[in-house]
Structures are given as structure tokens and as C-alpha cells.
Structure 1
Amino acid sequence: MRRLLKEWTGLLGAGALGLMMAAQPLTAGDAAAQDYPNKRLEWTIAFGPGGGNDIMSRTLIDILEKHKLYPGNIVAENRAGGSGAVGWGYLFNQKGNPYQISSTSGSFITTPLQADTPWKPTDFTPIALLASDDLVLLVRGDSQIETLDQFIESAKQNPPTIGGIGAVNVDFIIPKILSKQAGFEFDYVSFNAAGELNTALLSNALDAIMANPGEVLGLIESKDMRPLAYSGEETPDALGDVPTMKEAGYEIGVSLPRGLILPPDAPKEAQDWWIETIKKVVETPEWQDYLDKQILTENIRYGDDFKAFLQETQDRFAEILREQGAIK
């Protein structure tokens, strides 16, 4: 009898333990799987207001809010500095937090090559590559230089000062490749915000700038700036008859990738949720309008495909920068 009572008590204890285990609160991973997203989202913009990274981020936020694709509030914060190192460094320190997010640009790949950052592009949780864009070389509208050939001839006599976004970015890589092929030198000045870059050119502090066409189209149309050459394969209609650098005989072969990332070690459930959500975003008319106005080429890769692209692009950029002597 005592033995039966002991066995019965043991079975009862095991059952009670099972009930207790069933009643335990969900782990963070389980909660993410069932409830994500259910909190405010903090969106880091790694550059100042008005630039391509800022415009893309705020466009995505507007689409998410307009179409009610994210259930909570979204707060955007510009964390500019160090060619993106400040903003992405902040995101890197939010490891595992699915309520932190950021957009990428060329500096996301080049900054770790040039600076001693604790992170590299593939450390982050990839959501999607969304678009790529090329750059236009510009001088002031009242400049005596009217063509790329004239710019190069002048540069051979007097090395110009060229401005761009980021210290060792696509904005630097493109004129570096051009100068090597064309046989001239130049001084490069980096900026964190497009507004500052444009002001520097218009105030005669710079001889030329590299810029995203969508950021300067109004200044081109007002004739405050004059485009000399486009770095992509085909000149967009918005730039009229501006020649490509390739048409002028110079092979550039690099473009600026724009994408979306979560911090390192973000839950897979959050990554999957964002991938599915971005698939809806890129089908909206607002996204297509953004691509047209910013003169971007849609280039979509999700998850691991985006991660592989980041690695391949960083390897390519590193090769170019070493060839040009920009990094060791």
C-alpha cells in the first residue's frame, strides 16, 4: 500500500511538474515567433537629413505607415558621423534586438575597409537589397567647364577638389577610377549630408562633386549645377543627353547598393517577417514612384542572397581600393 501511494505520488508530481512547465512564460524566441512585431520600431539613419540614405529610409517608413504594414510606431533617428560608422555602430550594439533597423548605402561596405570598425557588413541580419544607384559628376552651373573632356584637361593642369558623401565611399571610388584612367590627380573632401555637399559646390568651396542624380535634379533643372557625366551603364532620361563615363571611354563598373538590415543575431522570425513585408512594400506605387524620382535601378535580393551580395561587393571594393592605394 505504501509502495502504491509512493508511485501514485510520483506520478502526481510528474503531472504537476508538466503542468508547471506548460505554464512557464514564453522565451524571447517563442515570443518573437508568436507576437512580433508588437513594439515601437527605432530606425537608424546613418547619415544626415536630405541624402539618399535618409530619403530611402523615410520613403520606406511612409509606405509602411500608409499601408499599415507595421502595427506600431516607427521613430526615425539620424545618427550621422564617421561615414556611417556612428549609426551602424549603434545598430551593431543592439545585438539580437528585432526592434532596431537601418538602411544601407555604399559606406556600409567601404567604411569598414577604411576604418577600424568592430563590425563588417555580413555581421548584421540581412533583410533585403532593394536598389542600386550610380552617380553623376557635377560642376557649378556658371562654370566655364561644359564637358567631361574639358574637366579632365583642366584637372591635368590644376588638380580639382571633388566632394562626396563618405570618406572612402563610392563617391570617392568612382572619381579615383576615372582619374587613374584619365591621368589626373584630385583632392577629395567627404561630407555626411547632401545639403552640406551641395552648399560647398555652390559656394565655390569645391570644384566638383559626385552625387546621386535624384538628390540634385532640381539644381540641375534650375541650372545651378551642370552634369558632366554619369557613372552607370545608361544615362537616365531625367539627365537628358549627359554621356556616361563608359561612352567617354572610361570603365567604372561600381554602383551604390541600398538595402535594409537588422542588428546581428536578430531572431529569424523577425527577419522572415521583414522579408515578407518588404515584398509587399516593393509592389506599392509609392515605391515605384520613389525609384523613378530618385533615378534608381531596382535590384532586389532577400536574406542570404543579400548577405552573399554584401560579401561579393565588399571583396570587389577592397580590390579596387587597394589597386588605387586608398587602403592597404
Structure 2
Amino acid sequence: MKTTITQIKGVGATTLAAIVTTSLTFATPASAQSYPSADETLDWTIAFGPGGGNDIMARSIIEILRTHDLYPGDISAENRAGGSGAVGWGYLYGQDGEGYGISTTSGSFVTTPLQADTPWQPEDFTPVALLATDDLVLVVNGSSEIETIDQFIANAKENPVNIGGTGSVNVDFIVPTLFAEKAGFEFDYVSFNSMSEQTTALLSNALDAMVGNPGEILGLIDSGDLRPLVFSGQSTPAALGDVPTMADIGFDIGVSMPRGLILPPNAPKEAQDWWIETMKKVVETPEWEEYITSNTLTPTVKYGDEFGEFLTNTKNGFETVLKNVGAID
């Protein structure tokens, strides 16, 4: 199975590799007796711009912490966007040994180090919790003659298609690549810089199909402008109705974007333990349930070392796929 990648206004690996992390001075380390101290401001890094999935997740957790009085001090949330997360997570990496820096993760937390010369790897950070997975839906134009995933596969086997996604070498690329490999068809991957760009391309019939998070395109699905064919997660969100999963039709790819929480490398154990126990409370709140539902996420919870192992396994799997298709060396 041969897949090609077309880059449209994307950020290439060379650009990402040029990003340099600057060492800064941060708050004093946490102590076993005082963590968390009400006198210390929590420095919350959001590695992407406002309004995206990572930003929404971070601010949802912060609001829950405040609403339920779960964190005693002030929380300063800063969007430190750039380089598909390289800038923000590089900033957190510079807080080695500290307990008052924190960040949320996404698929780019795994894929960015694979394509760029970042000084950090996912396993360098202190894992707190995997809280949910962010899966993708494959959609076609609502006016397409293709009405089912079986029809799509049969057509793609006869006439290779193009599939759009956001970003050049990330989960949007990996998911259709694995699916096509298992289903036995070829496609060209077309990379866009934003969901709005790729949606416009699909609606104007410049694309045959695209992948996206259901929460970002649910309105267009509900209106009939887009037609969902298959979901990459283990269970289909209620908002997508009877759309089958890839596993349902025999092509389980085992790939999801990790929506989790991390501390800097070598964070004090008391900080890690405190955050694990606190996130156990967060995921039990009605606000968290509403966040999961409204963003069509799959609740998937793993704490501490189990989350760390998940990140390592995910990275290894992604690396194998990307090397096999020649996307990375």
C-alpha cells in the first residue's frame, strides 16, 4: 500500500527542528510537607493556541479545580503555541525537578518529537493521568454518492482517493494510513494547516474524504453537509449514531490521541501523587462528564506509570508506522 503526502501551508520538520528551548528560572521545588502550597502559583502551559482541543481541555480542568476548590493556590494558564507543541512542552521540559509546572497532552505530544529534533521525548516528563482519548471520524461530502464505508473502500480500491487531515505527520495521517493498509486500498494524504481549510476543500469537492475529531465537525454532520462513514475509536459516540467503528468492520487500528496531564521531568513524587489523587476527583465531577460528552471524547483513564507506559507504547507504534511509509527516517 502506497501513501503519498501533499503539504499545504504546513509546518515542516526543518522548521520544527529549529525551535530552541530557552532555560528559565522557575518556582522553588515542592516539599513533602507543603505540596501544594497556597503561596505558589501553578504555571499551566497550554502548548497550542486558544480555542483548540488542547486549550479547551486545559481550561475545563482548571475550571473544575476552581469550582470544587481542589487547588489551594492561584493558577496561571498560558498559551505557549508553536511548532506543533514543541514550544510549550519545551518550556515545561525546562522546569526539570519542579512541581508547579503542568501541561495537558495531545497527539502532537507523541508525533512532534518523531519528526523534529526536540530536546525532549514523551517519556521524559512525569506522567499524571491519561484522562480520555481523542479519536477521528472519516467523512465525505454530504452530496457524495458514497453512503457507507464499504462503498468507500470498494471505490478506493478501484480509484485511489485523496484524504485530507490537519498537519503533515501526525495522528490525522497515521489513522487513515493504518486503516487503508488493513482495508487494502491506496490514497494520497493532503495536509492542511487548519480544520476550516480542509473542510472547505472537502465541501468544494477538492477532496474525496477527510478525517477529523467529531467535536470539531459535528455541526456539519448534523446539517448533512458532511457524511460520517467510520470512527477510529473503540466505541462510537452517541452523537454519530450508528456509524461503525473500524474494529466493527474488521480493521481495528489501535490508535488514539492521548488527552492527559503531565508534570515536568523529575517532578517531586509528592506532586505526582497529589495530582493523581486530585484527577481521580476531577473525572468524577458532572462538569467532566459534560466535557467528555460535548467534545465527543472516549473516557480512557490511566494513572502514573500506567499512563507513562501508554505513552511509550503509543510512540513506538507511531514511529513504526511513519518509518514504514517513509514519512520519517
Q: How does the TM-score come out when normalised to structure 2?
A: 0.81
**Alpha carbons of 1:165 and 1:45: their partners in 2 closer, same or farther (altered >3 Å)?**
farther
Greater shift in the superposed pair: 30-39 or 263-272: 30-39
Take 2:158 and 2:235, find their aligned partners in 1: how far apart are those partners?
A: 30
- Report if the CA contact (8 A) 2:30-2:99 is conserved: no
Matched with 1:186 is 188
Deviation at 1:308, TM superposition (A): 1.7
Report the Cα distance in structure 2 between the residues aligned to 1:236 and 1:134, rounded to whole angstroms: 10
- For the Cα contact (< 8 Å) 1:156–1:185, is it kept in 2? no
Alignment of 1:220-231 (within 5 A): 220-231=221-232
Aligned equivalent of 2:168: 167
Superposed CA deviations along residues 71-107 of structure 1, whole A, max 9, x for unmatched, are 2332333333322222212221232333221111122
Give, in angstroms, the shift of residue 210 of structure 1: 1.4
Equivalences for 1:145-294 in 2 at 5 Å? Answer: 145-155=146-156, 159-181=160-182, 182-191=184-193, 193-195=194-196, 197-199=198-200, 201-202=202-203, 206-294=207-295
Q: How far has the Cα of 1:205 moved from its partner?
A: 5.6
* Gap change, CA 1:196 and 1:67, over 3 Å in 2: farther
Please tell me the residue identity of whatever aligns with 2:299. Answer: E
For 2:201 and 2:69, the matched residues in 1 are separated by 40
8 Å CA contact 2:41–2:73 kept in 1: the answer is: yes
CA-CA distance at 1:119 after TM superposition: 0.6
Task: Give the Cα–Cα distance (whole angstroms) in 2 for the partners of residues 94 and 202 of structure 1.
Answer: 44
**Match of 2:117, as an amino acid?**
D
Identity of matched residues, %: 62
Q: Is the 8 A contact 2:92 2:264 kept in 1?
A: yes
Q: CA RMSD in A?
A: 2.6
Please state whether the residue corresponding to 2:177 is helix, strand or coil. Answer: helix
Could you tell me which amino acid in structure 2 is paired with residue 254 of structure 1? V
Gaps of 5+ in 1: 1-26
CA contact (8 A) 2:45 2:102 kept: yes
The Cα of 1:175 is off from its aligned counterpart by: 0.6
The one-letter code sitting in structure 1 at the alignment partner of 2:190 is Y
In the alignment, what sits opposite 2:105? 104
Q: Partner of 1:5 in structure 2?
A: none
How far did 1:282 drift? 0.9
**Structure 2 unmatched ranges of 5 or more:** 1-26
Q: Return the letter of the residue paired with 2:262.
A: I
- Specify the code of the residue in structure 2 equivalent to 1:36: P
Find runs of 4+ consecutive structure 1 residues off by over 6 angstroms: none
* Other-structure match for 1:300: 301
**Helix, strand or coil: the match of 1:177?**
helix
Q: Which residue of 2 aligns with 1:121?
A: 122
2:47·2:79 contact (CA, 8 Å) conserved in 1? yes
Q: Judging changes above 3 Å, is the alpha-carbon distance between structure 1 residues 30 and 59 closer, same or farther for their aligned structure 2 residues?
A: closer
Please report how far the alpha carbon of residue 61 of structure 1 lies from its aligned counterpart in structure 2 after TM superposition: 1.3
Please say if residues 51 and 195 of structure 1, whose CA atoms lie closer than 8 Å, have aligned partners that are also in contact. no
Kindly provide the CA deviation profile for residues 114-142 of structure 1, in whole angstroms up to 9, marking residues without a partner as x.
22111100101111111123210122333
What do residues 121-172 of structure 1 show as CA deviations (whole Å, max 9, x unaligned)? 0101111111123210122333343333443455456654433344322211
Residue by residue over 1:161-196, the C-alpha shift from the partner in whole angstroms, topping out at 9 and shown as x without a partner, is 4333443222111111122232212123043x5455
Instruction: Please say if residues 229 and 242 of structure 1, whose CA atoms lie closer than 8 Å, have aligned partners that are also in contact.
Output: yes
Which residue of the partner structure matches residue 39 of structure 1?
40
> Structure 1 CA distance, aligned partners of 2:259 and 2:131?
6
How far apart are residue 292 of structure 1 and its match?
2.1
* 1:271 to 1:293, Cα distance in 2 relative to 1, 3 A: same
TM-score (norm 1): 0.81
Alpha-carbon contact 1:102-1:262 (below 8 Å) kept: yes
Cα gap change, 1:110 to 1:30, in 2 (>3 Å): closer
Partner of 2:58: 57
Give the helix-richer structure, 1 or 2: 1
- The letter of the residue matching 2:189 is D
- Supply the distance in 1 between the matched residues of 2:199 and 2:54 (Cα, whole angstroms): 16
Query: C-alpha distance in 2, partners of 1:152/1:84?
Result: 34
Look up the match of 1:325: 326
Q: Identify if the C-alpha distance between structure 1 residues 185 and 295 changes in structure 2 by more than 3 Å, giving closer, same or farther.
A: same
Q: Report the CA distance shift for 1:174/1:30 in structure 2 as closer, same or farther (over 3 A).
A: closer
